[in-house]
Structures are given as C-alpha cells and as structure tokens.
Amino acid sequence: MIELENVSYNYGGGELLDAVSVQLAPGSFHFLTGPSGAGKTTLLKLCYGALMPTSGRVRAFNMDVKGLDRDQMAHLRRRVGVVHQDCRFLDHLPVIENIALPLLVSGRELTHEEPNLRELLNWVGLSERAHALPPELSGGERQRAALARSVILSPDVIIADEPTGNVDWEMSQRLLQLLLELNRMGKTILVATHDLSLIRAAKNQVQARVLRISNRQLQLAGADL
C-alpha cells in the first residue's frame, strides 16, 4: 500500500527523520508513537504526499509520490483517508456537507450517496448533529466527523493523526472501536498517538504493530507496551 524507503526529512534546521523505512501492508494496523516533536505528523504527511522526502523514496499504490503531478496527487488523496490533528473543516458548511465534501469534489452525484451518508453519520453517532456547524461541535464530535469524512470515499488506507488528542477516555475508546471496525473491513490503518493506554487497549483486539520514532529513527516497539 504505502512504502517508505530510506526516507529522510529535513526542515531546513536539521534532520527530523533519517533513513526511515517502513511498509504498510494491506489490511495492517499500525500505531506510530514517540515524543512530541519527534516527527510523527511529518511521517504521516510523507505517507500521503503532503510533504516530499528530502531523500529516499515514498511509494503509494506502487507509484512514486515524487513523480506525481498536482492532479495525480489529488487522486492519491482520494484513496487515502486522512484524519488531521486539527480536523480541518469548512466552517461555513454544516457537518453533513463537510463529511460529504470528498464526494462533492470528486464529482459524485450526492443524491445517490444520500443513504450511505446517513448510515455513516449514524455509525459515528452524529445523526443528531448533522446540521450543526463545525465550530459548534465538541472535540470528540469533531474527531468523529473527521473520521467519517476520511472514510466516505471508501479509501484503502486511513491515516489518523492524534485522533484522540482532545477527547476523554470514553470517547477515545469509541474512536478506537470505529478504527478497529474499519480494519476488520480490510482497510489499512495508521494511527499516530502518544496515548499508550489506547495502544494497549487496541492490542487486545487486533494484531497491531507499534512503530516508535526516537532519535530520528523509526523502530518497531517491542511487546513491552
């Protein structure tokens, strides 16, 4: 699915990631952890082409990300669902239209997708809040809306950046359940988090691999978690 090969990234002020290699196999579930500022978000951005590696190669769906033009990049983004740390909504549109945004921009007929959209809203528990504006939502509601938006095009890969960062334990469990369900449906999942208890909770239910960034390197964390 997504493959990083000897990838280094340099913000200009020094190396953030150095010779990182990782493979996200279809249907796998990965956690990415590490201290704040270690480069978790950067690594995720490299995976979906929002950043280009300083050296090394990133391949997504067997295409070199570096060789993609802007339109091809847009098509790649439709195949990778991303839940951003700060969600990124269009604040002037209600939740339901924000969730449907990927359908809209990819030219799908919205009327055909109406039942799917309702089902998805129901799945993330936002049916009641469908017509609220994003700024009116709570942290957990925003994260669930972002998750719904990331999966609406039925992508093969879902990348989530600290999806449980701003929510309480109960809500983070709920989000984890949604991600686990998606994984059971065959989606490849990559979740960046610093919440070790979340990782532990997940490990009881899924064969999750934990990647840790430390000292600019990516390591496979042991079973000690």
Partner 1 sequence: MTEGKLRKLILGDTQANRVVPPSGFTAHLTLFVSGAMAFLAVFALALSMASGRLADQWASELARAATLRINAPAEQRAAQTEAALEILRQTPGVATARALSGEEQATLLAPWFGSSLPVGSLPLPQLIEVTGDDPGYDAAGLRLRLQAEVPGAALDDHTRWRAPLVDAARSLRKLAWVSILLIGGATAAMITLAANAALAANAQVIEVLRLVGALDSYIAQAFIRRFTLRALSGAAAGVALGMIGVWLMPEASDEGGFLTGLGFQGWGWLVPLVIPVLGALVAFAATTRAATKRLGALS
Neighbours of 185 (CB within 10 A): 10
- 196 contributes a contact to partner 1 by CB under 8 A: no
Query: Which residues have C-beta within 8 Å of that of residue 56, sequence separation ≥ 6?
Result: 4, 5, 6, 7, 8, 19, 20, 21
Closer by beta carbon to partner 1, 85 or else 173: 85
Residues 46-75 binding partner 1 (CB under 8 A) are: 50-51, 70-71, 74-75
- Which residue lies nearer to partner 1 by CB, 99 or 191? 99
DSSP structural state of residue 176: H
Residue 1 CA, distance from chain mean position: 14
* Half-sphere exposure of residue 194: CA atoms within 13 angstroms, side-chain side: 13
- Single out the residue of 40, 42, 89, 141 in contact with partner 1 (rule: CB under 8 A): 89
The CB-of-222 to partner 1 minimum distance in angstroms stands at 34
What residues between 94 and 153 interact with partner 1 by CB under 8 A? 97, 101-102, 104-107, 110, 149, 153
Instruction: Candidates 28-36, 83-91, 136-144, 207-215: pick the segment binding partner 1 (CB under 8 A).
Output: 83-91
Helix (H) or strand (E) holding 222: none
CA distances in angstroms from 204 to 21, 132, 185, listed in the order given: 26, 35, 18
Q: Which residues bind partner 1 (CB under 8 A)?
A: 50-51, 70-71, 74-78, 82, 84, 88-90, 92-93, 97, 101-102, 104-107, 110, 149, 153
